[in-house]
Structure 1
Amino acid sequence: MGQGLPRYAAFAAVLAAAGLPIYIHAPKFYVDSYGVTLTQLTFALFLLRLLDVVQDPLLARLSAMTASVRGPMAWGAGAIMALAMLGLFAMEPLLPPIWWFAVTLAALFSGFSFLTICFYAQGVAKAAAMGDGHVRLASWRETGALTGVCLAAALPALLAPTGAPFALYAVIFAAAALLALWAMAPEWSGRGTPPAATGLGLVLGDPPARRLLLIALANATPVAVSSTLFLFFVEDRLDNAPAAGPLLLVFFLSAAAAAPLWGRAAARWGAWRVLMAAMVLAMVVYAWALTLGAGDTWLFALICIGSGAAVGADLTLLPALFARRMEVIAPGAADGFGLWNFVNKITLAFAAVTLFPILEASGFASGTENAPRALTTLTLLYAGVPLGLKALALALLARSGRDLKQETSHA
């Protein structure tokens, strides 16, 4: 276990609990508790997502410029994140509810994004100090992150008997965040503190780094598309709305269980080859999903296991390959991971902007009896589009194979 890697897993778990699960929990909480309308939420979430995407390069610059005082900066960002979570769920709004929702979420995601960039940049220095241990560190980190997602997704339901599950969730999160920051303190201030980065231009001017960013864009978009449509697919295509929560948990648990196995496989056969195999697995799973219809819930559970396992490879191996390249060209890595975050987040914005208008044009309406044409459109968007995008990502990875194998065979 040594070398402080459990610290990275624990910190990743806390960060993950402030990410995707909040998009699941917070909107429904504000609708149920304060009567916020879906139209208000849609507009607020669009603006928040826009802010979240465009601020990452700026936060990356801030992280690079303050690398010498990363410990205090991390404590400050962590405190903002914890207080924002408490404000979001554990206190009455001090503004009209939709404005309070927007302000607290903006603070939460700003702290989350800054810490994520610092955390991944610090991981580059950590892996270098371990002797080229990028995949090993990524396996610990992403297993922790996926475990955090599972816990955060399930915790409000487990706390429901208390009568105030979200308030208690916020308190637990704030305490866990402070604990994780304390545990990471030796890493922020240790000998592994990275040097200052040299700017976005250096990263974008490097052909292997550009190729990896392009692969990440093509590879993350299928997950963004299928994640955006997951609940609709289960409720309307499979006709089994109550199964959505358990199936989502199966997906995340499969990703968490698979992440360390992909790491071990990469250590034996190389990250590039193993990532290719994981992409092929994802394509098989998406192709299978195209054949499903009403009542195929158990078959879809198998698909969730396969797709979750494939995502475990995406989250573990691609960042490790990118971190390995950052070690070579920009050891500070903050600017690089600012771009990495930007690329991954822009896919969610793309999914939100394009998918729903296409569904609406097909006549689809969630929770109602839909015509075959609308259900076919839903299936093609949920599985067919990701299948094509995954094939594109696989082709880009295969085309870049010679360089990536040489640069990352020991990642």
Structure 2
Amino acid sequence: MRTQIMTGAAGVVIALAVALAPPASAQSTAPGTVTEVVTAPERVRLAAAASAQRITYWSRGPRGPMQSTGMVYLPPGPPPPGGWPVVAYAHGSVGIADQCAFTLQPRDYYLAEVYPQLLRAGFAVVVSDYVGLGTPGTHPYLDGPSQARSVIDGVRAARAVAAELSTRWAVLGQSQGGQSALFAAHLAPTDAPELQLRGAAATGPPSNLELIAPLLGPWVPRLPLRMTTAYFAMIVAGLRATAPELDVDSYLTDAGRAVLDVVESNCVTEADEQVRNVAIGDMLNRPLLDPALIAAVHSMLRIPVEGYSVPLFIGQGVADLEVPAPLSAKLIAELELAGADLRVGVYPGDHLGAARQAFPDALAFLHRVLDQP
């Protein structure tokens, strides 16, 4: 196990605790248990942050304990009474190969704009890579419950290494992370009652995809959307790894298995360049109609529309070709009918453009839910 000694009394205590930890085989796999703390690599540090630590911690995958990595950024100056409120940032699709882990790569928009603005607003920032992304096992892409637990357990882990953090937190997510944010909002009040979840903001959250699964088969042509084949293949690859009893390979053609090989080895942008000309229908040799398979897809993808106890914000771009607006419109209508405390922003941009356009509104939402003790 690597251990890096950090400056300051708190850093020494953390480093010694990690160094003196029992062997991995004897360690607890309880949610949020930290197994490693290191200073963040230079390429992902922030001038606006008083400290930046990269952590490895235990969380929960679809079938049991799995590890995740993450980043913890603290604002400068003394924390307010009760500690820094936490914004857990849930990231969008980067791929499922280990080298795609979000916190390992310098991502200019987040490092130059999103995280600094959150820190200047007086929020600590905790970023989860999600289970299996840069850690053992296959990342279960768009498995909403496991992604949400990665986020929740990331906050638990961050509080274990940074005593300056409050129990008060909110989640902000884009795309895949928007789905994660909504699942976290639904799960966290009962899953982590020791934490005070105050709200969830989601931009471009993929929803209602489970309704499409029974329509898929060899007849599906190329679709006039972005990255559809790569996204579909990542979902299938995660399902194949986490639910072997479904025999996912039996649904795939040789071309389909080749596409899965590509997404398991490349980050999403590079994978899309290689597979975008392959139709989903070319990947399948029969319809996806098995009830057990459909049930597994529903448990992964179906965003709950009832039972929220915290405020929600959803932002959607009308020009989004990755998460089309009609799918989000259905989700928003169902949340409204179920009585959710919901604010909605509609923006002219595409998938990433709308996230940028929505950020001021999302930040105002975070202030509203987190500024009260």
Would you call these one fold, judging by a TM-score over 0.5?
no
Q: Which has the higher helix share?
A: 1
Is the strand fraction higher in 1 or 2? 2
- TM-score, with structure 1 as normaliser: 0.26
